[in-house]
A and B are shown apart, each in its own frame.
Chain A
Amino acid sequence: MSVLEARAVTKRFGGLTAVKDVDLVVNEGEILGLIGPNGAGKTTFFNCLTGMETPTAGDVTYKGAPLPKRPDLITKAGVARTFQNIRLFNNMTALENVIVGRHTRTKAGVFAAVGRGPRYHREERESEQTARDLLTFVGLGRVGDELAKSLPYGDQRRLEIARALATDPGLLLLDEPTAGMNPNETAAAIDLVKGVQARGIAVVLIEHDMRFVFGLCDRVAVLVQGQKLLEGSPSEVQSDDRVIAAYLGKPTEAETAGDKQ
């Protein structure tokens, strides 16, 4: 069964078509890799899915229902994301960052906050407990009281994932989750994404680290110059000449001839 279905999504910026007629189906519980050279439109496609940009054409459905237009409603519907350049609430603690993620799943308004009845206290306790559990889940259980900005880079990426998970998503979009990580951190990230999958959450990730992508993803889609080149299992994609050509360019006739000699 599919979680997300994007049909003919197109995004134009003036004369530039950043994303053109992209169809993508994400199945329940799978990890889907989205790869492609720089400037292929991967992040723009993510932005179209999460309401950061409005697609020029095409439609997206999440679990059968059309996706709302505003980012906060999309998150509420169940699609959460992280950002390529980490966007945390820097001057809040790690724990507070995750608690903010509970916003759509909690209700307390102004009057509840000022009045502070038993229901308010229960909700606050639950939010904090959920947030602490998630911090432990991503491996940050002991730095909850640190300011987000004072965490090391790898931890900040994990915190962003914890914050996204706090919104109880059915689908998590990760934009370059291992960018800037060292090999140890990347290895830990693989376990983390698998852990997310084990929670029954489908994952779509944009990534340039091919070992990471092919080692982790159930399926891989390749985006080149705004269009979907192909989609398939890691081994299919890996052995496809067009993908290699898209990344490295086609050898010219002369070079090909030279190689054969």
Chain B
Amino acid sequence: MTSQTIPEARVRSAPDLGVLLTGAGALLLVGSALLPWAGYAGFPGKMTLSGYPGGARLYVLLLALPALALLRPLPGRAAALRAAANVELAVVALTVYFVAYAGGGFVNVGGGVYPAMIGAILYLVGSRRLPTSEAVAEGVALPDASWRFPVESLVVAGTAGLALWLFVIGLGMPSSSIASGSDLTLGPLSINDVANSGQFLAYVITIAGVALVAGRLGLLKSLTIMTGRHPKLFVAAGFIAAAAFPFTQNGSGESLSIAARIGVFAAAAVGLNIVVGLAGLLDLGYIAFFGVGAYFGALVSGSVTSVTGVHLPFALTIVLGGLVSGIFGLLLGAPTLRLRGDYLAIVTLGFGEIFRITVNNLDGSAGPSLTNGPNGVSNIPDLALGSFNFGANHTLFGIDLSFQSNYYWLELLLLAFVMTSFLRLSESRIGRAWVAIREDELAAAATGINTTRLKLLAFALGATLAGAAGTVNAHVVKVAAPDSFTFIESATLLAAIILGGMGTVPGALLGATVLYLLPEKLRFLHDLRLLVFGIALVLIMRFRPEGLVASKRRAREFHDHETDPAAEAVA
């Protein structure tokens, strides 16, 4: 210990070992992305070509790019590179596994796999040796200049567009040859199915990884600042991008059909968010209200299998379906909302099951003939608004649009309505009263809130929105049958809002998307998918209890103690 200047000088003359290792790993990874990874044809992404970073190699390349940060000491650099290296290793391992598995053994992998594996390990080891600084990357706000508005608008709108574009790519990725919605007892999967699943997983992990790296570099904070300054622009850009989606499908309807179902699912999740996220009432039978709407929509749709034979215009159906469902909500809520917490959850769980069993038995033999029992009300005809037939393909601006785009747009409108209602309610006198009840019911009553009435209102409103979504869903899937309204559906909806973030709209959207899409894309796991699903939920609850997109309030609820000392020091 002679002087402290010597180590510093050494750092300047010879770079740190961590920097060297990380850089070498990243270079190897970039190189490997240009070499073939599969020694056989058939794996998606043209993985046999050299000099072309297709398929999962693109993700490998993308995750090696943060190593460019080695050239300049950015705040949060080490943390960002560690995250990138973790995810990179996962993507490489996963892809190698799937390439080997689909190729019939490790002998059939291409030459690019070896440098990739070595590179990923070097990357990981190197990033762990990087000198860490205490500085956490803070979001940077743009200076108040004349160019700030156009730049920020562009970033905000671009983000909304990018998010949807990524979603669309994921949606369009071939998952498996099995038609979605079929049962899980399938025969052996083809090589292609397995390979496609691997591609999709790598894609999802890469997106999560890039988001993580951006977060560590403080870019997400900057983005939050900017979207917070232009919220309307952000929403409008997202909505326009979503509305433009059908024009990119070249007349195909497969992705649109899935997207429409996700939309309906998301609308129901946002409705449930009122009940659970705002008012704090745990409702485990929520899908029953969705079911009431679906059956109502089916019975008045003019379907040949409907015993009523009534055919109402759809605009009326959706309003009445919501109202009928809301009345069911009142009927169930009035006696049960005196219960709290677990007891309410059990009663609502029971209601959900009663609904399913009842519609299963209203087939004329065990009860009045209304629902066709287990067969449900099927052959629901396509919607028609005036002379516009939802079941026909159309051409707009010279672009072919499949009939699914009509339902997709209908669902988008529904979602926009539900989202607006939720957002406006949550920031109103009613929404504040709900949160107050959730926080402390006795104090809320002492503050002048009629707790029974407000809880009932939340319950009925949630039911109404679910009912409206149900009528739309009946027309999208063309059938209302009891087995669509099982407990697992309620649980999945609940999981969607907990995973996404309680009490937020983007959270409910993201949660609904992930929870709808993952099981669809993970069918190759057969029954294991529920296990994987469960593990994923446990991990998220462990590491991000406030959900993926946390409301300001929930984020502070869970993390305020971490920032408190700093705040006190400032004050």
Contact = CB atoms under 8 A, between A and B. Distances in A.
A92 interface: yes
Interface in B444-471: 444-451, 457, 461
Given A88-B440, A89-B443, A110 B564 contact: no
Contacts of A88: 439-440, 443
A127 B429 contact: yes
B430 A108 contact: yes
B8 interface: no
Given A96-B432, A99-B432, A108-B430, A72 B450 contact: yes
Contacts of A70: 445, 450
Given A90-B439, A91-B556, A110-B461, A103 B425 contact: no
Contact of A114 (B425, B429, B449): B425
Contact of A92 (B436, B457, B461): B436
A109 B421 CA distance: 12
Given A103-B433, A109-B430, A150-B564, A91 B439 contact: yes
Nearest to B439: A89
Contact of B420 (A101, A114, A163): A114
Contact of A147 (B428, B448, B560): B560
A71 B443 CA distance: 10
Interface residues of A, number: 42
B448 A101 contact: yes
Q: Is the interface of A mostly helix, strand, loop or mixed?
A: helix
B442 A72 contact: no
A108 B428 contact: yes
A76 B429 CA distance: 16
B224 to A, nearest CB: 17
B20 interface: no
A117 to B, nearest CB: 12
A83 B428 CA distance: 26
B556 A116 contact: no
B553 interface: yes
Contacts of A116: 424
B432 A52 contact: no
B440 A106 contact: no
A68 to B, nearest CB: 11
B507 to A, nearest CB: 16
Interface in A61-105: 70-72, 75-76, 80-81, 83, 87-92, 96, 99-104
Contact of B436 (A75, A83, A89): A89
B103 interface: no
A89 B450 contact: no
Contacts of A87: 440, 442-443, 446
Contacts, number: 106
B431 to A, nearest CB: 7
A120 B429 CA distance: 10
A113 interface: yes
A178 interface: no
Interface in A154-200: 163-164, 167
A75 B451 CA distance: 13
B562 interface: no
B425 A147 contact: no
A89 to B, nearest CB: 4
B435 interface: yes
Interface of A: 50-52, 70-72, 75-76, 80-81, 83, 87-92, 96, 99-104, 106, 108-110, 112-114, 116, 120, 123-124, 127, 147, 149-150, 163-164, 167
- 8 nearest A-B pairs in the assembled complex, by CB-CB distance: A113-B428, A104-B448, A75-B448, A87-B443, A89-B439, A71-B445, A108-B429, A72-B450
Given A104-B448, A124-B429, 20 more contacts: A51-B445, A72-B451, A87-B440, A89-B436, A91-B439, A91-B556, A100-B432, A100-B433, A100-B436, A103-B432, A103-B449, A104-B449, A110-B430, A113-B428, A113-B429, A116-B424, A124-B428, A164-B447, A167-B447, A167-B448
8 contacts: A52-B446, A80-B446, A83-B443, A92-B439, A103-B449, A108-B430, A110-B425, A110-B457
